[in-house]
Chains A and B, each alone.
Chain A
Amino acid sequence: MAARYDRGMPPDPAQALESRPRRGLLIVAEGLDGSGKSATVEGIGRWLERRGRKVRIVAWEPSELVTRAAADPRSRTALTARVAALLAAADAQHRIGLPVARRLERDEVVLADRYGWTAIAREVARGLELDWAVNLHQSLPVPDLILYHRGDAGSAIERALATRPPSVRSAAVGAAYGQFVERLLATFEALAERSRRGAGTPWSSPVLALDVHADPAANARLARDAVRALVEPSGARRPA
């Protein structure tokens, strides 16, 4: 199956609008490197703009606090997984959480190219507990839809290393990088499973899983249909 709603069908549009009288929409794309998140986000953005919606795309950039600490030899020993996760979460609240919340209050559509799932997956891959990492990001604005780009680790590693020299590729695939990607994937899958069970991920947002090996046009249609269900009142659907 190319795609499905992990927590049932998309919410009834009228009901969805009723439950969100206050705000715009937050739609996030998650998945491994090279899984097509950016293409999905850009496609949805263009589609929404054609329908007159004001759209803002945000990217989940690496934390400046953590990057700075990692670059400083004196700081490096203090930068453990837990400290890095907390610094990055504080930074994300400042750079992403608060600006996104303000845009949602202004009824804008925010599309996030990576969001809390990526942060959680990275933290768990570095050895932290899943429940703790999930809780850490609960305070971010709640997505209305999570588009999970589901793929396998092998393809992701190949794509990520495609431009590197063969020596780097073989060493990296055989060692730490490959294991890291495997752990990221395991956490993404654990989050999707939590969503199926109705457990927090950390939110109860609907999750649409897109098979990265499926036809990109078919995935784009599925993603668009899910977004349409959120933005257009029942009975007012227009052809794609």
Chain B
Amino acid sequence: MTGVLIVLEGTDRSGRSTHARRLEQHLRYQGRGVTRTSLATSLLAADPIRAAKRQRRMDPVETVLLYAADLAERIEQVIRPSLRAGLVVLADRYVYTPMARAETRGVDAAWLERVFSFAPPPDLTLLLDVDSATAVARRSRHAPDRHEAGMDLGLSRDTIQSFRLFQDRLRDWFEVHTERYDFQRIDARGEPEAVATLIEPFVDALVAAR
């Protein structure tokens, strides 16, 4: 049995974490072993990432290299061993979010691709697509933090407005790169139950074929 790497991508508040949890449950009901991993959870890079955010050090090159270190560790320690063991790996964000954030801040796209070339290509990348108005509405329960709002870019002094503009830029990046990275776009504006019915057929078809 070979493992399967499924990535969930999308802008903030697109429902990635919710659907990663739901998919884990869905796959476990089918008897599949599942490993879930998400951004900035590595042993070595998570703390430096948090420290950089806390100190408001937002140099895009430094930040993206820390995220690359974070992913490299998780690929070596979690993702590859899980795939070798035949598990389904659900990655809540992968190379694409760090690349989108860095490129949006002016980092060269070709350089970013080469930095992240160590990462194995996913078997399926689900792009959960929501417009920024929906994301802002979902945000009403929690104010966006500086990082999510891209305040370092100086798009607006208003956090909500900055969040909206920044997420629009990220959404544009995902749209432009959909073909290149073979994103499977999912309209994620609906309720979680409805969105799950759009996601699960892609996952079931992939897993059944392995």
Contact = CB atoms under 8 A, between A and B. Distances in A.
Interface in A42-101: 65, 69, 74-75, 77-80, 82-83, 86-87, 89-90, 93-94, 97-98
A15 interface: no
Interface residues of A, number: 24
A94 B111 contact: no
Majority DSSP secondary structure for residues of B touching A: helix
A77 B43 CA distance: 10
A130 to B, nearest CB: 12
Nearest to A80: B76
Interface string B70-92: 00110011000000000000000
A16 interface: no
B69 A83 contact: yes
B114 A79 contact: no
Contacts of B73: 78, 80, 83
Majority DSSP secondary structure for residues of A touching B: helix
Contact of B62 (A77, A80, A82, A93): A93
Interface string B103-131: 00001000100110110000000000000
Contacts, number: 69
A86 B95 CA distance: 14
Interface of B: 42-45, 48, 57, 59, 61-63, 65-66, 68-69, 72-73, 76-77, 107, 111, 114-115, 117-118
13 contacts: A65-B48, A75-B44, A77-B77, A78-B44, A78-B77, A82-B72, A87-B66, A97-B61, A132-B117, A135-B111, A135-B115, A136-B65, A139-B107
Given A78-B73, A90-B63, A135-B114, 8 more contacts: A75-B44, A83-B69, A83-B73, A86-B115, A87-B48, A89-B65, A90-B66, A94-B57
